Amino acid sequence: MVGEVTHGGAGGDAGRGEVSTPSLIGRDDELARLSRVLTTTPALVLVEGEAGVGKTRLLDEFLSSSASAAHSTLSAVCPPLREPCTLGPIVDAVLGAGVGTLADLRLSGLAGALRPLFPEWAADLPPALEPAEDASVSRHRVLRALAELLDRLGVNLLVVDDAQWSDDATREFLLFLADRDGQGPSLVVAYRPEDLVGDPWLLRLSGRLRPHRARLRLVLDPLDQSETAALASSMLAGQHVSDEFAQHLHARTEGVPLAVEELVRLMARRGDLVRRGQSWKRLALDQIVVPPTVRDTVLEHASRLSACAQAVLRAAAVAADPIAERLLLSISTLAPTDFNAGLAEAAAHRLLHQRDGRRVSFRHVLAGRAIYDAVAEPERRVLHERAGHVLESVVPRACPVDHGSQMMAAMRIRLAR
């Protein structure tokens, strides 16, 4: 007998969007390795992963654990400013640490170089230094003074999140700390590799360490299907989710935790989740809806790419399914040189994936849909029309085609592989 069908979670709330904060899933090994390496000598830890894969959550779990109790931690976050402020993440972290007064820190006269960074502490800082002979000397003074301030504050762990958005001076400061003699603070640096394509900074940071520093690189991968199911279950009062629901979630999100969380929340708000007995299922809806947080992350990332790369993304979004490179070139109408450069850039930034046989697709279904939804309607119609003509040139048409139909275009692309 079919069990009772309930819209909503425990107490019937999930159908109205009231789901629980998810548990940390699939990161036990990474958390243990992070804790171990930070318990001995000073270390440099690089935490790498695409947007939404859980870097910040991993850091938060460590910083709230007993393993972090032995550390005096300064946590900095780099915001996605188009013109980052000089040393802004470090300055904001120091100001946010609740330092009341500098009077007891017994800073040297070198700390006068910090006056432009900390006008709030003008009464406590030493007098400004005499102007340096050149800009490089001035920069070095600031780095030395800032390192002295962290030493006096007792900071032995500096965590920098979203380092892909850091300014040049912050990057130089991390290099300076990593290359210092003596102990110095451990460094944990989290970043998105897709936003550091072609940037040699990380190679310089990881390649010039003093021998006394331990090193660890953690690469966070998306969750597999069973871990995706466990993450969804943790948001639904720990109750079982059906295999079909888990498969649907994983196919849509590719196991990226943020995408999984946001999609579960969105489905709950829309009433697309039902409970039969003690198991959660989804309503059979084929429409792809992109959660706002995922959409904004994808569009922000894409906005940083060149015009050629964005044109390739729009053409691939209209194609929807994996498509031969030569057909995508025709849909985009870019010159071959511009197309190849745009495709290489979009692939390097992990938005597109070049498959075997020279076929192209989005790495994540939701990313492709986010780009598609952002295309203005007039341009979308033109792209659909163009895609229809391109596909008709390689696949004989057996029946009239509605060039405005993405489903028909996708079917023709599958036939044209």
At 142-151, the pLDDT tens digits run 999 999 999 9
Per-residue pLDDT, 416 = 40
pLDDT (tens digit per residue) in 101-137: 787 888 999 999 999 999 988 888 999 888 878 888 8
Q: What is the overall mean pLDDT for the chain?
A: 85
E strand or H helix at 73: strand 73-77
Every domain of the chain with CATH number 3.40.50.300 lies at 28-219
Mean pLDDT confidence for 343-368? 88
Q: Which residue has the tokens 């046989």?
A: 357
Residue 54 and residue 46: Cα distance in Å, rounded?
Answer: 14
Q: Is the pLDDT of residue 405 over 80?
A: no
Every domain of the chain with CATH number 1.10.10 lies at 292-415
**Contact assessment for residue 173 and residue 140, using Cβ atoms and an 8 Å cutoff:** no
Beta bridge partners of 323: 360
**Contact assessment for residue 62 and residue 45, using Cβ atoms and an 8 Å cutoff:** no
Where are the alpha helices (H) located in 271-416, listed in sequence order? 292-303, 307-319, 325-332, 336-348, 365-374, 377-392, 406-415
pLDDT (tens digit per residue) in 305-345: 999 999 999 999 998 888 999 999 999 989 999 999 999 99
DSSP string, 26-56: S-HHHHHHHHHHTTSS-EEEEEE--TTSSHH
Mean pLDDT confidence for 199-225? 87
pLDDT grade, residue 395 (50/70/90)? low
CATH class of the domain whose range is 292-415: mainly alpha
**Contact assessment for residue 51 and residue 220, using Cβ atoms and an 8 Å cutoff:** no
E strand or H helix at 250: helix 243-253
The packing angle between helices 377-392 and 325-332, to 10°, is 130
pTM equals: 0.82
Quick one: tokens of 33?
């390795």
Per-residue exposure over 44-56, b if at least 16 CB sit within 10 Å of its own CB, e if not: bbbbbbbbbbbbb
E strand or H helix at 282: strand 279-282
Least confident of 15-19, 73-77, 94-98, 217-221: 15-19
CATH of 28-219, one of 3.40.50.300, 2.160.20.10, 3.40.50.150, 1.10.287.310: 3.40.50.300
Mean pLDDT confidence for 360-380? 92
